[in-house]
Structure 1
Amino acid sequence: MSTEAGSDLVRALRANCERPFGDARSMPPGVYTSEAFLALEQRDVFRNEWLCVGRASALAQTGDYLTAQIADQPVVVLREPGGELRAFSNVCLHRMSVLLEGRGNVRRIVCPYHAWNYSLDGKLAGAPLMERQSGFCKDQYALPAVRCETWQGWIYVTLNDHAPSVATQLAGLTSLIEPYGMTDYIETFHEEHVWDTNWKILAENFMESYHLPMLHRATVGPHSKLEEMECPPGLPAFNYHWITKEATLPIGNAHPANTRLEGHWRRTTALLAIYPTHLVTLTPGYFWYLILQPQGVGRVHIRFGGGLAPEFIDDPKAAEYMGTLKALLDEVNAEDRRGVEAVFRGVHAPLAKPGHLSHLERPNYDFARYLAHRIGAA
């Protein structure tokens, strides 16, 4: 699809977002199916925004690393000997092979192609036989640095040298969720998946709980009361909604040893959508998250993980609690996958038209306005 077609979709999205929320509709089908629109997202969103790549506690030891992708740029984040987290281009400076894959621990970053190798500060440490080339100088080579910051225990990276800090952009969210102490939550599992849907369909699915009673009727649906959900207007960098109830799992409420949370906070779940791709369910006892990366229009790579608040980590039944939670989340994810893949098939239909949003889909409206503001703004 042409650039002009992508621009037409941006105009249609903006027109849709000019409606007041009481008359708001879903985003136009083409924003989920158009290659041209995805190219604009990569240019205007992914290459410019802070993107979450994982949990800082997952990189606890010197040499621990994880890899990620910012648009077309491979990135590696690692723990330096001094304890700092740093991010670099994950591309060799010789013949441009990708250096590291997945997660792991290294003493040096060694290229799998010709064994050029880099120390954990990104500087070239060794290059086999290159001393025979008179024009080669090892000291001239160092992996380009990528901006890397942490917020509430999460690692964020960006290619944008001018983006305000994560802490600045998320200051409003920091104050909203301060009672939870999310920084100290410990990740206990991490997986990666690829689903056959558009990344925005999955993001929107997370942002609203209107679907819980039906799509999740075999799991959490019977315990999900729509009247218990609050969906305030979002802010420029994120949206959120609350569910306050007695949890069906013990870890959904605050642990008896938790002295941080008082009153309704001890039984309130926060669902956070940090633009563009970081999605967190934060409860008094546990958290779980999705981090999304489009792999084309119809495929999305998902980092899926979760863990426990420190009081439950210290509880003798921690392993039992986490096992129960993981089993439930796996079932919920399977239901969500069926739902979002069905929506992706549906948005291709010639007769597909956006319908009105419910009052519980305020986050979706705010997300659409975020995209309309970012894409094509240059």
Structure 2
Amino acid sequence: MGEAVLRELGEALERCQDQRYDRAWSMPRGFYIDPAVLALEREHLFLREWVCVGRVEELARPGDYLTFQICNEPVLLVRGEDGAIRAFSNVCRHRGALVAGGKGNRRRLVCPYHHWSYDTLGRLVGTPGIGEREDFDRRDCKLPEFACESWQGFLFVCCADRPPPLAPRLAALEARIGHYHLEQMALRYLADEVWETNWKCLVENFMEGYHLTPLHPETLHPVNPTRLCRHFEPGDAYFGYNAGFSPTLPRSQKGHPDLTDAEVDNCVMFALPPGLVVGCAGDYSSFLCVQPEATDRVRVKMGLIFFGADWPQDKVEWAVDLFQRTMAEDKAVLLQLMRGLNSRHHGAGPLAPADLEGPVLDFYKYLGARLAAPLQECR
């Protein structure tokens, strides 16, 4: 595979750039199973673009921290004494051990290996057993810092040097979802899983409504049936569709007072590639933070955020149960999908119209625009 696959993929993504939705086709199998493709995605997407790592409310107090892995970069986020959230390399400046794991609260971050310690500004403040040296001044030593932004309550990190700010690229999307006030929603469910599928399969699955009724007849079909899905125009850094709520669905909460009746009756499904997909609704919303670990393995940080404090526990439990059952159905079919993609008999197929699978083509266009240069070198 390798070079031949990259040439084939480059040609397929190039065709997508001007393709109509009613003439779109899926990608060749190498797009999902070839390690050379994943290497390009890691280098030119995940290590250069803004990657979502979680929610602001996970770091509510000074000293709160969480860790996240972006490709081979261990990342540590911490809220400082000044209230600001910063992102650092999670690699100790001594011998390279990870400074922290999981999440917690510490005013001083202590590496477990030799107890070198850092403050919440990333500065080295403790080096047990190492005194004054002419060739080393700990005041000049700190954890490397990454760019970090919050948008709509989501936390993003970029490993590239001096990346352009994220928010201006999302202005049109923010106008579409602003009344939902995702930044005011509270995290009530969070899980971390590893799925044995390609990361792009997971993004595509979340971002198309074609499968909602066929795959989820008892879970999502009564809530957001396929027939109520409507594609919307993508932007440079986002794409998505509207998934209307069934008119027979009882709703316990309506969300923020800014919402119109039409917005209350709609769920905005949007992606901020490469690593975030969101189901944005008035009462509560879902999200997945996606991070590839191999061609056939992806780590998924998934959560539910709720608007308002007056949620009965049984309603929260109902939402969590629905989400878990839906994710289980998606996971099962995506594991089977990887088996199909590995077959030598797999071939590209035509995509359904824009309202059903339009976001899949939008995803291809996003990837093609960012991978065009490195893929061109292989042709």
- TM-score range (shorter-chain normalised) is over 0.9
Q: How many residues align?
A: 371
Q: 1:119-138 to 2 correspondence within 5 Å?
A: 119-131=119-131, 133-138=133-138
RMSD of Structure 2 on Structure 1 (CA): 1.7
Q: Aligned pair in 2 of structure 1 residues 248, 263: CA closer, same or farther (>3 Å)?
A: closer
**Equivalent runs, 1:171-250 vs 2, <5 Å:** 171-245=171-245, 246=247, 248=249, 250=251
| 2:333 paired with 1:296 | no
In structure 2, how many angstroms separate the alpha carbons of the residues matched to 1:103 and 1:7? 42
Secondary structure at 1:221's aligned position in 2?
coil
Matched residue, 2:158 = 158
Contact 1:189 1:306 in 2 (8 A): yes
- What are the superposed Cα offsets for residues 317-338 of structure 1, whole Å, 9 maximum, x if unpaired? 2x22111100111100100001
Q: Note closer, same or farther for the CA distance 1:228–1:8 as it changes in structure 2 (3 Å cut).
A: closer
Q: Give how far 1:235 is off.
A: 1.2
Q: What are the Cα deviations for residues 295-331 of structure 1, in whole angstroms up to 9, with x where unaligned?
A: 0101000001112112xx234x2x2211110011110
Q: State the partner residue of 2:328.
A: 334
Q: 1:64, 1:78 within 8 Å by CA — same for their partners in 2? A: yes
Are positions 1:106 and 2:100 aligned together? no
Query: How far apart, in 2, do the equivalents of 1:307 and 1:295 lie?
Result: 26
Aligned partner (choices 353, 363, 367) of residue 359 of structure 2: 363
Stretch of structure 1 that moved more, 196-205 or 334-343? 334-343
* CA drift at 1:164: 1.9
Residue in 2 aligned with 1:323? 317
Secondary structure, aligned partner of 2:38: helix
CA distance in 1, matches of 2:229, 2:338: 26
Aligned match of 1:67: 67
CA distance in 2, matches of 1:247, 1:375: 44
Whether the 8 Å CA contact 1:307–1:322 is kept in 2: the answer is no
Distance verdict in 2 for CA 1:223–1:154, change over 3 Å: closer
Alignment-derived partner of residue 273 in structure 1 = 271
Between 133-142 and 265-274, the greater mean CA deviation after superposition: 133-142
1:291–1:302: 8 Å Cα contact kept in structure 2? yes
Aligned to 1:374: 370
Q: Which runs of 5+ in 1 are unaligned?
A: none
- Inter-CA distance 305–329: structure 2 relative to 1 (3 Å threshold): same
**Which letter maps to 2:236?**
P
1:208 and 1:10 map into 2 onto residues whose CA distance is: 23
- Letter in structure 2 aligned against 1:375: L
- In the other structure, the counterpart of 2:377 is none
Change (3 A) 1:239 1:247: farther
Kindly provide the amino acid, as one letter, of the partner of residue 273 in structure 2.
Y
TM-score if structure 2 supplies the norm length? 0.93
- Which residues of 2 match residues 297-312 of structure 1 at below 5 A? 297-310=295-308
Residues 243-258 of structure 1: matches in 2 within 5 Å? 243-245=243-245, 246=247, 248=249, 250-251=251-252, 254-255=254-255, 258=256
Instruction: Provide the rounded CA distance (Å) in 1 between the counterparts of 2:275 and 2:143.
Output: 26
**Residue of structure 1 in register with 2:80 after alignment:** 80
Partner of 1:167: 167
Residues 85-123 of structure 1: CA distance to partner in whole angstroms, max 9, x if unpaired?
011111011111121112111121111111111011100
Cross-structure match for 1:353:
347
Q: Is the 8 A contact 2:211 2:226 kept in 1?
A: no
Identity of aligned residues (%): 34
Post-superposition offset of 1:4: 5.7
Task: Show structure 1 runs of 4+ deviating over 6 A.
Answer: none
Whether the 8 Å CA contact 1:13–1:28 is kept in 2: the answer is: no
Give the distance between the partners of 1:305 and 1:223, measured in 2 at CA. Answer: 18
Per-residue CA deviations over 1:191-211 (Å, capped at 9, x if unaligned) read 100000000000000000110
Is 1:30 the counterpart of 2:30 in the alignment? yes
SS at match of 1:295: strand
Q: Which runs of 5+ in 2 are unaligned?
A: 375-379
Say which SS state the counterpart of residue 232 (structure 2) adopts. Answer: coil
TM-score (norm 1): 0.94
